[in-house]
């Protein structure tokens, strides 16, 4: 896990190749991926929110009109290449003769692509988890979508990222979170960052963790922490992490500050973390380095293997 964190910048200089025929441009793009295999799409949308890319987190194809489907590229993304939901998505797209591209490191999806002459990108094979391979996946996705600007900027960004700088801060944050359930809050536009924090706590540290976004959380979740004597024991285990971005805007900043004030009056611990970096992706990745080191330190404190996800593997055997 430590090697995966430190080696992340190297992922951004990866040069993907689309094998079989290369797709042309389309009006719409639909990516199917589960867990860490769809994180790249979230960061792509963070970088270019106007790009017509949507994400599907389920079996089979999403409900789209025939006209939209025919003018769309369906991208099946699975780091292992064996994700059952993503495989069903690819099979249905192929059976309906829709435009399909596969991104995986191997497994059934790459075999399927080779056997059926489907365009595919083979991700580098590393002994890392999908949540740690988002660099490879994002570079491959930029290439698949012919987004040359992003691909070029990722190359430049690889030289600006220094994961080791966030190790000490991650260990310090982990000490504060021992025995606590992290809840990550951020602005709606940065929800992919908060979601990635949650995944790292879940899979690396093997602890419950949750996330939500401003302004929506102020209309519902806020009421769940209206601390009363009858309910205070329910809230004692939570520790809030606010991911603050200088580009969030005045309205979101006011909401964050007001929420922090109310929570602290209720004796709920709040940690405010400012996203650091000159670009949106630099801020995102630097934040994730902090999340990685924090989750790794928690795993070490709890005596837990940070790499494997045994409960997920056990679950898979129950649904075969």
Active site residues: 203, 219, 316
Cβ atoms of residues 177 and 294 within 8 Å: yes
Cβ atoms of residues 26 and 69 within 8 Å: no
* CA–CA dist 139, 147 (Å, integer): 10
H/E stretch holding 270: strand 270-274
In DSSP terms, which residues pair with 75 in a beta bridge? Answer: 31, 101
In DSSP terms, which residues pair with 241 in a beta bridge? Answer: 184, 271
Measured distance between the N- and C-terminal CA atoms of the chain, rounded to whole angstroms = 29
User: What residues contact residue 59 under an 8 Å CB cut-off, 6+ apart?
Assistant: 84, 85, 88, 89
* CA–CA dist 130, 285 (Å, integer): 15
How many residues belong to the chain?
A: 320
Q: Give per-residue burial for 282-310: e unless 16+ CB within 10 Å, then b.
A: bbbbbbbbbbbbbbbbbbeeeeeebeebe
User: What residues contact residue 203 under an 8 Å CB cut-off, 6+ apart?
Assistant: 36, 129, 131, 309, 312
User: What residues contact residue 248 under an 8 Å CB cut-off, 6+ apart?
Assistant: 187, 189, 190, 214, 256
176 Cα distance to chain centroid: 24
Cβ atoms of residues 39 and 199 within 8 Å: yes
Q: What DSSP state is assigned to residue 190?
A: G
For residue 32, which of 85, 94, 99 has the smallest C-alpha distance?
85
């Amino acid at each position: 896990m430590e090697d995966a964190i430190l080696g992340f910048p190297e992922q951004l200089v990866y040069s993907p190749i689309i094998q079989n025929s290369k797709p042309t441009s389309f009006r719409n793009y639909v990516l199917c991926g589960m867990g860490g295999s769809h994180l790249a799409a979230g960061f792509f949308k963070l970088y270019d929110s106007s790009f017509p890319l949507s994400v599907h987190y389920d079996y089979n194809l999403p409900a789209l009109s025939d006209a939209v489907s025919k003018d769309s590229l369906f991208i099946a993304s699975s780091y292992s290449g064996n994700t059952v939901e993503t495989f069903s998505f690819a099979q249905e797209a192929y059976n309906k003769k829709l435009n399909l591209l596969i991104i995986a490191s191997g497994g059934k999806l790459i075999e399927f692509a080779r056997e059926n002459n489907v365009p595919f990108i083979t991700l580098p094979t590393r002994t890392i988890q999908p949540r740690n391979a988002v660099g490879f996946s994002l570079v491959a996705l930029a290439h698949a979508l012919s987004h040359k600007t992003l691909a070029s900027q990722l190359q430049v960004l690889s030289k600006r990222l220094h994961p080791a700088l966030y190790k000490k801060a991650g260990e310090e944050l982990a000490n504060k979170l021992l025995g606590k359930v992290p809840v990550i809050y951020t602005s709606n536009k940065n929800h992919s960052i908060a979601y990635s924090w949650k995944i790292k706590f879940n899979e690396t540290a093997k602890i419950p963790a949750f996330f939500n976004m401003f302004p929506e959380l102020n209309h519902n979740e806020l009421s769940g922490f209206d601390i009363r004597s009858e309910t205070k024991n329910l809230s004692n285990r939570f520790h809030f992490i606010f991911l603050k971005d200088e580009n969030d805007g005045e309205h979101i900043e006011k909401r964050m500050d007001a929420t922090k004030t109310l929570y602290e009056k209720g004796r709920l611990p709040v940690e405010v973390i400012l996203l650091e970096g000159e670009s949106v992706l630099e801020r995102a990745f630097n934040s994730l380095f902090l999340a990685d080191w924090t989750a790794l330190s928690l795993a070490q404190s709890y005596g837990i293997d940070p790499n494997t996800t045994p409960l997920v593997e056990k679950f898979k055997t129950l649904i075969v």
